Chains A and B, each alone.
Chain A
Amino acid sequence: EVQLLESGGGLVQPGGSLRVSCVASGFTFGSYAMSWVRQTPGKGLEWVSLISAGTIRTYYADSVKGRFTISRDNSMNTVYLQMNSLRAEDTAVYYCTKKKGDAFDMWGQGTKVTVSS
């Protein structure tokens, strides 16, 4: 079964750091770009970051550039999002997604990140 399972969310103080992870199963992980998309409660989807499959290239939304880092470990079928200098506006559910062609064809169930003192 094709599955994406996020973990690592939680409560963190403003200015703090958190790393969320996503373990993939059911497909050849190393062959696909992976991305993180977040959703603030009651709001729409906001793309956060993407990491390519082969020659590693990374892309970030302006709102997180310089604070967040996406990485992947193909031996562990895992993609990570390291989040530093967190702000209240980073509070959201973070979804891990698999990119196939020009679409995100698989989504995880999400992990909730709350930035609050």
Chain B
Amino acid sequence: QSVLTQPPSVSAAPGQRVTISCSGSSSNIGKNYVSWYQQFPGTGPKLLIYENDGRPSGIPDRFSGSKSGTSATLGITGLQTGDEADYYCGTWDSSLSAWVFGGGTKLTVL
């Protein structure tokens, strides 16, 4: 069982908006920055969002991140079939002295 809780799956139609939640605690999300990763089958993850809401160079502004208290959210607008992937949140847990990830969310674009 993961320290960070994500919904196992979300789905939406092309062009629509979807959000993926990531719930933690005061020792992880409540205290540290959250990052988000996108992973396609058979490939390594790719950084999508850093420091809660920062976008690395090359990541389209359709992807956004936010954090409030002990939860974080990844938002994707203008959904495309190419966005179908697994999405993971991650952060440092100050109590565990360990990096923790959410269990991952599979995005289906119907």
> B92 contacts which chain A residues (CB < 8 A)?
102
**Is B101 touching A105 in the complex (CB atoms < 8 A)?**
no
A103–B46 CA distance with the chains assembled, in angstroms: 11
A95–B42 CA distance with the chains assembled, in angstroms: 12
**Is B44 touching A105 in the complex (CB atoms < 8 A)?**
no
* A47 to chain B: closest residue by CB: B99
B24 lies within 8 A of chain A by Cβ: no
Q: Among the listed A61, A95, A105, which residue makes an inter-chain contact with B50, where contact means beta carbons less than 8 Å apart?
A: A105
**Is B45 touching A107 in the complex (CB atoms < 8 A)?**
yes
**Is B37 touching A104 in the complex (CB atoms < 8 A)?**
yes
* B47 to chain A: closest residue by CB: A105
**Is A104 touching B101 in the complex (CB atoms < 8 A)?**
no
Chain A binding site: helix, strand, loop or mixed by DSSP? strand
Contacts A101-B51, A107-B46, A109-B43; A35 near B33 (Cβ below 8 A): no
B38 to chain A, nearest CB (A): 11
A27 lies within 8 A of chain B by Cβ: no
Contacts A44-B2, A61-B98, A104-B37; A109 near B44 (Cβ below 8 A): yes
B93 to chain A, nearest CB (A): 10
A-facing residues in B30-62 (Cβ within 8 Å):
32-33, 35, 37, 39, 43-47, 50-51, 56
> B37 contacts which chain A residues (CB < 8 A)?
45, 104
B-facing residues in A27-53 (Cβ within 8 Å):
35, 37, 44-47, 50
Q: Among the listed B44, B99, B102, which residue makes an inter-chain contact with A95, where contact means beta carbons less than 8 Å apart?
A: B44
> B86 contacts which chain A residues (CB < 8 A)?
44
B88 lies within 8 A of chain A by Cβ: yes
**Is B47 touching A44 in the complex (CB atoms < 8 A)?**
no
Contacts A95-B44, A110-B44; A45 near B88 (Cβ below 8 A): yes
B-facing residues in A92-107 (Cβ within 8 Å):
95, 100-107
B95 lies within 8 A of chain A by Cβ: no
Could you list which residues of chain B lie within 8 angstroms of chain A, going by C-beta atoms?
Answer: 2, 32-33, 35, 37, 39, 43-47, 50-51, 56, 86, 88, 90-92, 96-104
8 residue pairs, one from A and one from B, having the closest CB atoms: A103-B35, A103-B50, A107-B44, A47-B99, A102-B33, A44-B104, A45-B101, A44-B103
